Amino acid sequence: MAESLTSDIISRTGRPCNIKPGRISEYENGRLEPNLLVLLAYARLGKVHLELIADDRFTVQEFREQLGK
């Protein structure tokens, strides 16, 4: 996941970026919040709207259902 996010950000922005695998775990466990570029990359890779990732009105279950479509 870290490599995919890094590649997406670099290809879209041309900016240097190196997301380490441990950082992904920190995002997923709520210890860190990803910046906007990372959120956008997650949305593109998951083929979902950014709102599903960034809006706390959505539950994890609703997010999983959207990914399953």
The reported pLDDT for the residue numbered 43 is: 93
**Residue ranges of the chain whose pLDDT lies below 70:** 58, 60, 63, 69
Helices (H) and strands (E) in the chain, counts: 5, 0
CA distance 24 to 30: 10
The number of domains in the chain is 1
Residue-range definition of the domain harbouring residue 52: 2-68
pLDDT of residue 13: 94
Q: What is the pTM of this model?
A: 0.74
Q: What pLDDT sits at residue 58?
A: 67
Both structure tokens of 49: 């709207």
The pLDDT of residue 16: 92
